[in-house]
Amino acid sequence: MQAVATTQPPSTGRRRALRAFLANPAGVLAVLFLLFVAVLSLAAPLIYPEDPLSMVARPLLWPGQNAAYPLGTDSLGRDVAAGIVWGGRVSLLVGIVAMLLGVAIGLAIGATAGYFGGRVDQVLVKIVEIFQTPPSFVLLVVLVAVAQPSLTTVVLAIGGVTWPSTARLVRAEFRSLRSKDFVMAARSLGYGHARIILREILPNALPPLIVSSSVMVATAILMESALSFLGLSDPNVVSWGSMIGAGREMLRTAWYLSAVPGLAIVATVLALNALGDALNDALNPRLSGPR
Amino acid sequence: MTSFQRILATLRRNAVAAVPTILAIVVLNFFLLRLAPGDAADVLAGESGAATEELMRQLRARFGLDLPVLIQLKNYLLGLAQGSLGFSPRYNMPVTDLILQRLPVTVALMASALVVAFVVGVTAGYVMALCAGRWPDRVLSVVALLLYSLPGFWIGLMLIVAFSVKLGWLPSGGSETIASGLTGVDLLLDRLRHLVLPATTLALFYVAIYARLTRASVLEVSELDFVRTARAKGVGGAGLALRHILRNALIPVTTMAGIHVGGVLGGAVVVETVFTWPGMGRLAFEAVQRRDFAVLLGVLFLSSIVVIVVNMLVDLLQAWLDPRIEAS
């Protein structure tokens, strides 16, 4: 932020954004809920030390039927609540790591294309276009099928299909920022490209990137759940999507087996999207419409 | 430049730009799928129980799987130039025929989902913009955010529970009643009844996107000078709303509609699996499970082509709608 210091001390900008964010009840609620899910996920081995795939009670207990199993049990007598908590670990982990991977690739390609422009830009834009043309979920299915399904390949594949949108965003930001006065100043001081990209332009391009990362975690969680619902993810790991897929067999009689993990996905993804909206309003005050 | 020339120039530019993209996608897909462990011969051998080395060699020779990879790629590209996407050993028929067989039901599903999403989304977005900041806007914004966060396959299952299991109003799967002997209007109605749930499932996500886009776009256009001029000239009510605001506000929304075709195709894989809808998405899923790479490659290629063609059409539509878009 040192570059904008001439017009606006960085702390005021950041403090203003924080104040705007805290004034938005939806954003605060979303953060609190996500913290709750994160704590639950981290504490999973303490709350449910047993393997969530182990059979613990009478099968097909409905939620509320037995106080010891508040969310019921499935057809094999596995505790649904334990599955939700352990599945949340997988969903969050996949969502966050895949987002980081997608952002890293997108940032590297987008920054290079936007900063250098010219021939480099043309080639990179073409590559982005090629990766954006096939439907991303179909490409994702192909990638996971080619590599053997495991959590690692699922994360790599999701990162591999989501980076182009970040690359486009970063490229647009870098293109508009590279001719600004503070970049000229940095150049005239003899700073190298790497330093200008990372220390001068990147901090100014961060706000839209932060907003999109929050939405990307949501997208990654939805993609992982769809993959594991189809049975194309790691078969040895419980995740919300695989629970829905397993519950689908008993949809007519025990629909809660599909409903409960789905609600967990909806709540988490909704919180991430609401967080994205709130961040957008706080970080780009001029762009947000009347509220 | 007349609008016809402009459209022609846009078409030519797009067609030239698409060729290297298509080639790159084909080559990339081909090598990607070569990396996969196990080929069609392995699958066939596995299904028939034990297979001798000799039989495996024969199978591979029959499908050209024993040739060097570059020769296989050359054969694939040569076949492609003649409209052939290869042969599926699993289905024992040419991939092009197989996909073309499945394509109409997928297109029906996609088109109805997109039309529903567009109409409902634009209407909702327009209402939101009119009431910006007041309660209808707030309620619809929350609904849109919720729809935006629903996993398609899950809401599909929940709709099945509600409308087929509990209420018994609509069928839970398939694209028509099998061996019903229906004809004419009855057959059409039967198909429509089967279409309702999958199309709704696929549409929900895009309803949210179009509503949010339309809201933002209408709010932006409403503040522009030409709207103020129209108002000053005494244009008001529906005329102002439709001719001046909505028409201009829809330009960015149509762009996004084109971009989403790929997303809808991806969503169709999941929705078709949930509703046992016999389309291309389900075919892709079956192809993965059966390790039938010729089919998977074909689906990936054809869906990319659909995306490219639709984007071209959207470009043309915009060159026609908006003279400011230069065919440079």
| Residue A211 confidence (pLDDT) | 84
In the predicted structure, residue B195 carries a pLDDT above the cut 80: yes
Query: Could A133 and B262 be called an inter-chain contact, meaning their C-beta atoms sit closer than 8 Å?
Result: yes
Q: Which residue has the higher pLDDT, B243 or A117?
A: A117
CB-CB contact of B91 with B181 (8 Å): no
Summarised one tens digit per residue, pLDDT across range B234-272 is 766 666 666 677 777 777 777 777 777 778 888 888 899
Query: Could A251 and B20 be called an inter-chain contact, meaning their C-beta atoms sit closer than 8 Å?
Result: no
CATH of the domain at B290: 1.10.3720.10
| Mean predicted confidence (pLDDT) in B277-287 | 86
Q: Same domain for B174 and B270?
A: yes
| A265 → closest Cβ in B154, B219, B269 | B154
Would you give the DSSP letter of residue B245?
A: I
In the predicted structure, residue B176 carries a pLDDT above the cut 50: yes
Percent of chain B whose predicted confidence (pLDDT) is above 90: 1
Percent of chain A whose predicted confidence (pLDDT) is above 70: 86
Chain B residues whose beta carbon lies within 8 Å of the beta carbon of residue A142: 29, 32-33, 288, 296, 300
Name the domain boundary from B36, B66, B94: B94
| Mean predicted confidence (pLDDT) in A91-107 | 93
Q: Same domain for B197 and B268?
A: yes
Name the domain boundary from B62, B94, B126: B94
Summarised one tens digit per residue, pLDDT across range B305-328 is 888 888 888 777 777 766 665 544
Q: Same domain for B158 and B272?
A: yes
Chain A residues whose beta carbon lies within 8 Å of the beta carbon of residue B288: 141-142, 145, 232
- Local confidence band at A157 (pLDDT 50, 70, 90 cut-offs): very high
Cβ neighbour number for residue B12 with a 10 Å cutoff: 11
| Residue A5 confidence (pLDDT) | 41
Q: Same domain for B155 and B84?
A: no
Q: Same domain for B134 and B34?
A: no
Chain B residues whose beta carbon lies within 8 Å of the beta carbon of residue A30: none
Summarised one tens digit per residue, pLDDT across range B65-91 is 777 778 888 877 887 778 777 777 777
Chain B residues whose beta carbon lies within 8 Å of the beta carbon of residue A145: 36, 288, 291, 296
Quote the CA–CA distance of B132 and B222 in Å, as a whole number: 12
Q: Same domain for B59 and B114?
A: no
Quote the CA–CA distance of A184 and A190 in Å, as a whole number: 10
Task: State which amino acid sits at residue B114.
Answer: L
| Mean predicted confidence (pLDDT) in B116-121 | 90
| Residue B39 confidence (pLDDT) | 64
Summarised one tens digit per residue, pLDDT across range B23-45 is 888 888 778 767 766 666 666 66
pTM of this structure: 0.85
- Local confidence band at A163 (pLDDT 50, 70, 90 cut-offs): very high
Residues 249-278 of A with CB under 8 A from B: 251-252, 255, 258-259, 262, 265-266, 269-270, 272-274, 277
| Mean predicted confidence (pLDDT) in A110-128 | 88
Quote the CA–CA distance of B126 and A207 in Å, as a whole number: 28
Quote the CA–CA distance of B308 and B270 in Å, as a whole number: 22
Shortest distance between the Cα of A1 and any Cα of chain B, in A, equals: 30
Query: Could A290 and B219 be called an inter-chain contact, meaning their C-beta atoms sit closer than 8 Å?
Result: yes
Quote the CA–CA distance of B199 and B191 in Å, as a whole number: 12
In the predicted structure, residue A291 carries a pLDDT above the cut 90: no
Task: Give the ipTM.
Answer: 0.82
Q: Which domain holds residue B221?
A: 95-327
Shortest distance between the Cα of B84 and any Cα of chain A, in A, equals: 19
Retrieve residue B302's tokens.
């054809």
| B154 → closest Cβ in A136, A252, A258 | A258
Q: Same domain for B224 and B272?
A: yes
Query: Could A130 and B300 be called an inter-chain contact, meaning their C-beta atoms sit closer than 8 Å?
Result: no
Q: Same domain for B188 and B269?
A: yes
| Residue A221 confidence (pLDDT) | 93
Shortest CA distance from A216: residue in chain B: B149
Please give the tally of structural domains in chain B: 2
Chain B residues whose beta carbon lies within 8 Å of the beta carbon of residue A129: 21
The 3-class SS string of chain A reads CHHHHHCCCHHHHHHHHHHHHHCCHHHHHHHHHHHHHHHHHHCHHHHCCCCCCCCCCCCCCCCCCCCCCCCCECCCCCEHHHHHHHHHHHHHHHHHHHHHHHHHHHHHHHHHHHHHCHHHHHHHHHHHHHHHCCCHHHHHHHHHHHCCCCHHHHHHHHHHHHHHHHHHHHHHHHHHHCCCHHHHHHHHCCCCHHHHHHHHHHHHHHHHHHHHHHHHHHHHHHHHHHHHHCCCCCCCCCCHHHHHHHHHHHCCCCCHHHHHHHHHHHHHHHHHHHHHHHHHHHHCCCCCCCC
Shortest CA distance from B266: residue in chain A: A137
Chain A residues whose beta carbon lies within 8 Å of the beta carbon of residue B163: none
Chain B residues whose beta carbon lies within 8 Å of the beta carbon of residue A139: 300
Cβ neighbour number for residue A193 with a 10 Å cutoff: 11
Q: Same domain for B162 and B245?
A: yes
Shortest distance between the Cα of A198 and any Cα of chain B, in A, equals: 31
Name the domain boundary from B41, B60, B94: B94
- Quick one: which H or E segment has residue B93? strand B93-94
Q: Same domain for B165 and B88?
A: no
Per the document, the length of chain A is 291
| Residue A290 confidence (pLDDT) | 42
Using a CB–CB cutoff of 8 Å, tell me whether A198 touches chain B: no
| Residue A155 confidence (pLDDT) | 93
Retrieve residue B168's tokens.
């018994």
In the predicted structure, residue A2 carries a pLDDT above the cut 50: no
Query: Could B266 and A130 be called an inter-chain contact, meaning their C-beta atoms sit closer than 8 Å?
Result: no
Using a CB–CB cutoff of 8 Å, tell me whether A29 touches chain B: no
Percent of chain B whose predicted confidence (pLDDT) is above 70: 86
Q: Same domain for B48 and B175?
A: no
In the predicted structure, residue A98 carries a pLDDT above the cut 90: yes
Quote the CA–CA distance of B61 and A255 in Å, as a whole number: 49
Mean pLDDT of chain A: 82
Q: Same domain for B139 and B200?
A: yes
Query: Which residue from B31, B267, B117 is spatially nearest to A136, judged by alpha carbons?
Result: B267
| Mean predicted confidence (pLDDT) in A34-49 | 83
| A138 → closest Cβ in B160, B303, B308 | B303
- Which of A75-79, A253-257, B47-51, B90-94 shows the lowest per-residue confidence on average (mean pLDDT)? B47-51
Domains and CATH numbers, chain A: 10-288 (1.10.3720.10)
Query: Which residue from A52, A46, A4, A71 is spatially nearest to A257, judged by alpha carbons?
Result: A71
